[in-house]
Structure 1
Amino acid sequence: MKLRKYIVASLIGLAPLGSCTYLDKEPDTEIDINMVFENKEKVESWLANVYSRIPNPGNDWLNKYGWEVFADDLTPSKRWQQWDWPNITKITGEWTPNTQWAGSFWDDLPRKIRQAYIFIERVHALPDADLPQKEVDYMKAEARFLAAYYWWQLVETYGPIPFRPNYIAPTDFTLSDLMVGQRPFDEIISHLDNEMLEASKQLAPVWQSVEKYGRITSVMCLTVRAKMLLFAASPLVNGNDWYIGHKNKEGEELFNSTYSQLKWVKAAEACKLLLDEAERAGYRLYVEYNDEGEIDPFTSLENLWFTKFQDGNKEILFPFTKEDAYSSYQFYTNKVVTKEYGGGNGLGVYQGLVDAFFMKNGLPIQDDNSGYVEEGFSTQKETRVTAWVGGTGQKGEVTAASTYNMYCNREPRFYTAVSYNGSWYALAGRKFAFFKNQKDNDYTHDAPQNGYLVRKKIYPQDNPKNKSYKWRQVFLYRLSASYLDYAEAINEAHDDNASREEALKYINKVRERAGVRQYTLSAVPANDAKYIHVNDDQASVRAAVRMERRVELCCEGTRWSDIRRWKIAESLPEMTGDDYGMNFGGTNNAEFYKRTVFQTRVWKKAMYWFPIYIDEINKNPNLVQAPFWN
């Protein structure tokens, strides 16, 4: 049986792992371990079990882990908390070391890491069973990367952690083998950097066999490595004096508070290595073209989520191959509360995200030249050259007449990411009606709590009532994000004109596909239709990168990492106080279309890292709690 079948199927034949202490070991399996590694199918099953903790971006990032709701992109109905949405309580401040977390990284990931180490130690060629040494070498490299990836997930979540690389607890282990304390952040990153890089050298950038799709590639290794080094170079952990004195029980500082420019240089080099490897192997942004032979940003941005790698979607750097991976996301988004097509109509977006999208001329709404108008209604429909029908149900029509001006003349990414009152509801063949007691707002927990629903990643004809869902391509990371990773890193690594030009080059690749004007450091004539001037300084390019990340990567889980590593959460109004939207209690235009507080959030300095659950602290006297949680 082929390994991919194991990856996407329920696993059998291996007993679950036992202990819940951080570096605990599993109990012996019912099958003698030597027998496992003499049988090809059991070898594949063991490795598939190591794979099984790769996070599911379709379900886990939204509900289980919280990446998509911890930041200021997606906002769930607060009243869903009654059905066990504990991450809602976290964003409203009810978060302590006693709070359990469904992600269970502390318990689960060390078990998979230990399985990976056992696999690397014991797997060997089985020539008589069609498991040659070359395939074994690939498998070992995959396991090596997965162990490093799981370590990185722990570090990105908790900061410094107990770290014993390549350690396998012996059968006759004692508590002293396991009760270790945290190691310094930079020490861990240095080791994982080497592990991911070395694993990448053993793997192909693309597997030629479709049956291997989803197996770890060199590009997947380099993608995660680049993102890890970008995080490690960022203000949260590079020169941050907040954590001076945060030491392990041996008296070692766990964070290096001295700023290092070399970390940005290393991050930029890692990002460029990834891009070079990916582009040589044929990875590229996913684009579709309109009738005039130009990029159609509307159809490109929408169909990116529904087009297979094998069908030309070469933007996918790190796929997730488990079937039905988007069931939770589907349930909580594309629904109407009248039960016409099913319930669950309460996952929206923040007003701040609506405001972050550019105008169609590529300028932010705050720019005096953007043409943004907030109040009032359009007098005529707007058309563009596109095959997209998601605006009004008619090809090329983006907004209908009488659309609230806030939503008119915006960039394509806005229309493919946000459902607003009066936008097109394709399944029902009508406009969304979000006024109180209209078809899409029965004023319950299952209603657009702030007058918006998320549209991104939702297939327009998905019908939850009859469980008719479009197959979708699920992935953790894509090339567009890595372009922006590199743009950020190269701008921070070298404060010079050449680096800023390089940064804008990669931002512009993203903007071109998005259908908005390009940036340039050169002077631009008034009313230029192609370029927007950016000042030739590091701060201006940094601002451009951050604005682009905000809208290009919204609702993908990236924002939570960004606002943490940039150390800006306390400066964001929607993270620290009243959150606004339209008034979902309004019954007419005058009542509905006004910025209205729908919830209040609480942010604490401690929340940059997850707390170690109190039971783990009590078990292990060598642990210290994450900063500011005591």
Structure 2
Amino acid sequence: MIKTIKHFTISSLLYGLLFTSCDLDRLPMEGPSTGNFPANEQEAILGLNGAYQSISTLDAASTPIWHVMDNITDVGYARPGNNYTSPITSSVTTDNALATKPWQYHYRTIARVHLVLDNLSNLETSMDEGSYLQLAAELRFVRAYCYSQLIELYGNVPLLRHAVGLDNADVPRTPKAEIQQFILDEMSEIAEHLPINQSAYGHVRASRIAAYMLKARVALYAKRYAVAAEAAKKGLEYAEGIHDLTSFNATIDVAGKDHRAGEPDVSNIFGHEGYANSAEWIWVAEYSIAAGNTHNRQYYGASRLGKGVCYWGPTQNFIDSFQALDGLPIDESPLYDAQRPFENRDPRLDLYCVRPASRFMGYQFQPQTEHRTVFNYWPVNNGSSSEPSSVTNTDATNAYRSFSGYLWRKHLDLNDFNSTSVSGESELNVGIFRLAELFLIYAEAKIEANELDGSVYSAINKIRQRAHMPPLTEGLTQQQLRSALRYERKIELANDGLRWYDLRRWGIATDVMNGYLYLNRAGNGWSTNTLQYIDENHNPVYNHNEATKHFTTQTVIYKENKDEYWPIPASEMDANKQLIQNPGY
């Protein structure tokens, strides 16, 4: 099995021993008395490593948060239950675990930053100047990232620049715009103190490129397009010769074919191999069994035959969003055939998703009950036979098989199959920033600023060409380029955890998340008139009466002036009387 070198194992273990019983874990906005910590550079580095590791602890259903968020949007679906159905039906409560954990965990990480940062100046004269400035910059980067998440999830939140204790923990909410400016200013101040590249640490530590990318993302979300374009351009300039898009491996040729042709595989980007070798990753969250920092994403995401529980999967809405190979939406392309819907499609459909008649985790994937047995390709994989064997098809009969009829292939690694089970642990890293998103941030900022030059086409086409999709036609209008950009974000960044934010900042959540999600748990076929059209944001619009003959549905509700944000946790409202709850909760 290919494994990324785990860089923080020793320091993370030491940090856990030093601070496990700390008040940080008891009250998210409360920090311990910092005392004399850190007393030296080594302790400061331990504290920094602990802050990085703290980011990776935020999860839901033992799945890193980044791989949860898309499954409460139009592109992904979770097993029905209060934590994941309520966010898509406007019924989140102030004690919903999914909605409250990010507040608690991000403030915990911020407190860990302050544990080091507040006393770091005591070490200024004893440390090399460059090392001191870099250490401070990395701590400020981690803090800024946490705030970038908090303001998108909750809106106005308390901005803490130093540790707070029990005697001064009642801090009012700071306007979102003020925190956005704080983050932009912080990145401007610290970026040049960071190394251009942190590949020696597996990109787990923040680089100069990561700082410019964070600045660009925050500015983009704030609709400050000139700032976003400038920061993204700076990041791309520094990335030249260091980061690059990693080509899909040879299994891209399997896309659009059935299980007999092979198993699509993107582990050279999104698996252990990718985190060890791909130049696409800019910033990564590290997991390590030795450090006791693991997740169970593989188990929750894999098929029943693949030792998983099918917890997450793409919707029919998402599957129908993929263009045909000619670059046209399926309602316009002559290449699309509803009787053979997975042929002649953007290869990322099969590279990122699992659909009927494909191969996944070594097995033929068929959710249809008429397939009582399916092929097991593991005898072929391990060399014990030249032919697959036959097994009972639990992916069609288990009561908790995929609820959407599809599964995510992206962010799972076939190499983890032998260790992924009910008691399995995974130390597969999670990418937070990658070059593909930076290209798309740059392109979107330029489009929204109506600066439609060749660099916009180049940024988008790099991603399309990697996927063997045709380049954009020259001379597009701003609206046409906006549409093209939104397609690429929807498809390329799928299951990376960004769709929830895109729906809100583009102002399309009201349309997309009101009505129905379509699910195909039975793996049914469908007729040509099931789909009415694909809209300008590449969202399918269905003939509902016809669609319900083939698909089941999930009603979704999005209320304006409420569902833009999640509620502040009830426990925080009780502890801090300065807080005012978000509207609608």
| Shorter-chain TM band | 0.7 to 0.9
Confirm or deny: 8 A CA contact 2:62 2:296 kept in the other structure.
no
The aligned counterpart of 2:500 is: 560
Corresponding residue for 2:219?
229
Partner of 1:385: none
What amino acid does structure 2 have at the position aligned with 1:272? K
The aligned residue for residue 604 of structure 1 is 559
Take 2:150 and 2:435, find their aligned partners in 1: how far apart are those partners?
24
| Structure 2 residue ranges without an equivalent (≥5) | 1-5, 252-262, 373-392, 528-545
Partner-residue secondary structure (3-state), 1:435:
coil
Residue 116 of structure 1 deviates from its aligned partner by 2.1
For residue 491 of structure 1, report the CA deviation from its aligned partner. Answer: 0.6
Segment drifting more, 447-456 vs 185-194: 447-456
Where 1:136 maps in the other structure, the secondary structure is: helix
Q: Which residue of 1 aligns with 2:375?
A: none
Residue in 2 that maps onto 1:479: 435
**Shift in Å, 1:564:** 1.4
Is the 8 Å Cα contact of residues 367 and 521 (structure 2) preserved in structure 1?
A: no
**Aligned pair 1:119/2:116, yes or no?**
yes
Partner of 2:410: 456
1:576 matched to 2:514? The reply is: yes
Report the structure number with the largest CA radius of gyration: 1
SS in 2 for 1:75: strand
| 2:444 paired with 1:488 | yes
Counterpart of 1:75 in structure 2 is 77
What pairs up with 1:58-457 in 2 under 5 angstroms?
Answer: 62=63, 66-78=68-80, 81=81, 86-101=83-98, 104-123=101-120, 132-164=128-160, 166-169=161-164, 174=167, 177-207=168-198, 210-211=200-201, 213-233=203-223, 263-280=224-241, 282-287=242-247, 301-306=266-271, 308=273, 312-323=277-288, 327-336=295-304, 340-367=305-332, 369-375=333-339, 405-425=340-360, 427-428=362-363, 430-435=364-369, 438=372, 439-457=393-411
Contact 2:325–2:469, Cα closer than 8 Å, also in 1? yes
Bigger mean CA offset, 596-605 vs 308-317 = 308-317
For the residues of structure 2 that align with 1:465 and 1:121, how far apart are their CA atoms?
Answer: 42
For residues 478-517 of structure 1, the aligned pairs below 5 Å read: 478-493=434-449, 495-496=450-451, 499-517=452-470
Report the Cα distance in structure 1 between the residues aligned to 2:576 and 2:116, rounded to whole angstroms.
28
Query: Is the 1:7–1:49 contact (alpha carbons within 8 Å) kept by the matching residues of 2?
Result: yes
Give the secondary structure class of the aligned counterpart of 1:599: strand
Q: Deviations over 1:564-622 (max 9, x none)?
A: 111211211xx223221335186999x99963124222222211111112343344443
**Is the CA contact 2:151–2:157 (under 8 Å) kept in the aligned structure 1?**
yes
Correspondence for 1:17: 23
Distance (Å, rounded) in 2 between the aligned partners of 1:4 and 1:277? 29
Identical positions, percent: 23
AA at the equivalent of 1:415:
D
Give how far 1:482 is off: 1.1
3-state SS in 2 of match to 1:323: coil
State the 1:413 CA deviation: 0.4
1:304 Cα shift? Answer: 1.1
Q: Which amino acid aligns with 1:347?
A: W
- Equivalent pair of 1:58/1:329 in contact (CA under 8 Å): no
1:50 corresponding residue in structure 2: 51
Q: 1:20 to 1:410 in 2, by over 3 A?
A: same
Distance 1:617 1:408 in 2: 52
Counterpart-to-counterpart distance in 2, 1:60 and 1:218: 33
Residue 322 of structure 1 and its aligned partner are, at CA, apart by 1.6
Query: Match of 1:578, SS?
Result: strand
Query: Are the equivalent residues in 2 in contact too, given 1:434–1:448 (CA < 8 A)?
Result: no
Alpha-carbon offset, residue 3 of structure 1 = 5.6
For 1:279 and 1:135, the matched residues in 2 are separated by 25
Secondary structure in 2 matching 1:607: coil
SS for the counterpart of 1:137 is: helix
Q: Aligned to 1:356, what secondary structure does the other structure show?
A: coil
Shift of 1:549: 1.0
Residues 265 and 424 of structure 1, relative CA distance in 2, 3 Å threshold = same
CA RMSD of aligned residues (A): 3.7
Structure-2-length-normalised TM-score: 0.79
- Counterpart in 2 of 1:616? 572
Note the alpha carbon deviations across 1:292-327, whole angstroms, 9 max, x for none: xxxxxx978552113656854110011122226774
**8 Å contact from structure 1 (residues 96, 629) kept in 2:** no
Partner SS state of residue 608, structure 1 = coil
Q: Which has the higher contact order (CA 8 A, sep 6+)?
A: 2
Contact 2:196–2:209 (CA<8 Å) still a contact in 1?
yes
Aligned partners of 1:537 and 1:272: how far apart in 2?
22
Instruction: Give the alignment's TM-score, normalised by structure 1.
Output: 0.74
Query: What's 2:536 paired with?
Result: none
Conservation of the 8 A alpha-carbon contact between 1:586 and 1:592? no
**CA separation in 2, counterparts of 1:52 and 1:290?**
34
Tell me the residue number matched to 1:398: none
**Cα distance change, pair 326–452 in 1 and its aligned pair in 2 (3 A):** farther
- Counterpart for residue 5 of structure 1: 10
Tell me if the contact between 2:28 and 2:107 (Cα under 8 Å) persists in the aligned partners: yes
- Offset at residue 72 of structure 1 (A): 1.8
Shift of 1:466: 6.7
Letter in 2 for 1:423: S
Q: Which amino acid aligns with 1:507?
A: I
Amino acid at match of 1:521: E
Query: What is the CA–CA distance in structure 1 between the aligned matches of 2:526 and 2:264, rounded to whole Å?
Result: 33
